[in-house]
Amino acid sequence: MTDPHHQPARHRRPLAAALLATLVVACAAQPDTERDADGAADAPTAGAPADLAPTPTTRDFLVTSIWFDVPEGIAAQPETVANPCGLKKGTDNSTYQPLQLAGLRVDGFDLDGADSQGGGPCPHSDYLSPAGVPGVDYGFLHVMDMIRPARPGQTIEVVLRSAPSQGLVRIGIRMSGVDDLENDDAVEVRIVTTAEAPLKGANGEILAGSSVAVDPDPAFRSTLPGRIVDGVLHAGPGDVTMGKINLLVAQDRVIALKDVRVRATLEPLATGGLAVDARIAGWWQRDSMVEAIGKAILTIGANPGELKCVLDKHADHSLDGATCDAMSTMLRARAVSGFITGLPDTSGAP
């Protein structure tokens, strides 16, 4: 008896050929993706179907070092002169070698959209960018100039640089909604305080891939709009509050900056993940600054009244619209890939 379901070989060959052709076409239509050093998929290469958009991703980073930015090439003048804000009390700061600020080029930000040169309601002189663009604001350089322990390479810089690895400064950065690490016109950047310090290696440095919990206080979670251009992250403006900063005898201090801008490079790590090198600049209200660092700098060699004197002379912005009550400040931070738990994602990225 002939099997009614059996088909001769001459009928099966065309069917098999058709199935093979269908598989070939389907495979050819799949987007060609590569993976970053941290394992996240890049956007499909050219030629992929337009309706297969990349899935936005979220990346977390843990700050490994932070300090007040020291512009490249800054140096002290050879002559010793009277310090306009230096006092001779517990420490003799009455004379110093001024930093050469005139003509200095600063890789920073034009926070107020103006090129101030000694004028305006809060008179000050802006700096040129490395490319010669005028208008860069960085008033805190005068604190670094006139307050001895805040000078480049002195105690404040040394303490701050090592504070994250000692758990004294705990800052995390989340970048959400990332479609492409090379160019992306809309990402979300969150700067948060974490509840614990990351793991450290045998060399005492924070390990990439560490996992930490976010601090439960929502006051220490700041969100900025951002974009990535040619591999460089740009974020802001917005306000940023970093809490539970511990510097020497000053505990649980807060660094609160207004109208913050961020610029950061993203580079792959040899061990996987990414390394971040960021500049974070904004306006620091003078009372907030004194509360945050005043006690620490007194402990390590400044005299009472010196920081107030610098702010009286060089505060370069008005937040209250009536007084010169803020100073442009820029932090430098380095970070590595990690994980921040307990932080809800608001960007819609997985």
| 23 pLDDT more than 50 | no
| 305 pLDDT more than 80 | yes
Per-residue pLDDT tens digits for 39-54: 343 444 444 454 566 7
pLDDT category of residue 349 using cuts at 50, 70 and 90: low
Q: Tell me the average pLDDT across 179-205.
A: 96
What pLDDT score does 37 carry? 39
- What is the spatial distance between Cα 188 and Cα 160, in angstroms, rounded to a whole number? 27
Assigned token pair, 283: 């306006």
| 239 pLDDT more than 70 | yes
- What is the spatial distance between Cα 74 and Cα 202, in angstroms, rounded to a whole number? 34
pTM here is 0.83
By three-state DSSP, how is residue 25 classified? helix
- What is the spatial distance between Cα 81 and Cα 32, in angstroms, rounded to a whole number? 65
What pLDDT score does 53 carry? 63
By mean pLDDT, which of 35-39, 158-162, 330-334 is the weakest? 35-39
Q: Kindly report each contact of residues 309-314 with a partner whose C-beta sits within 8 Å and lies 24 or more positions away, as own/partner.
A: 309/84, 309/85, 309/146, 310/85, 310/142, 310/143, 310/146, 310/147, 311/286, 313/84, 313/85, 313/142, 314/124, 314/139, 314/142, 314/143
Please report the DSSP string for 78-106 in residue order.
SS-EE-TT--BSSSB-SEE--B--TT-B-
Per-residue pLDDT tens digits for 89-125: 989 999 999 999 999 999 999 999 988 888 778 989 9
Per-residue pLDDT tens digits for 248-299: 888 999 999 999 999 999 999 988 899 999 999 999 999 999 999 999 999 9
Assigned token pair, 250: 């000053």
What pLDDT score does 38 carry? 46
DSSP-assigned beta bridge partners for residue 95: 82
Q: Tell me the average pLDDT across 303-328.
A: 96
By mean pLDDT, which of 29-38, 80-89, 305-314 is the weakest? 29-38
Q: 311, 289 in Cβ contact below 8 A?
A: yes
State in Å, rounded, how far the first CA of the chain is from the last one: 60
pLDDT category of residue 169 using cuts at 50, 70 and 90: very high
Q: Compute the mean pLDDT over every residue in the chain, rounded to the nearest whole number.
A: 87
- What is the spatial distance between Cα 274 and Cα 80, in angstroms, rounded to a whole number? 44
- What is the spatial distance between Cα 62 and Cα 307, in angstroms, rounded to a whole number? 31
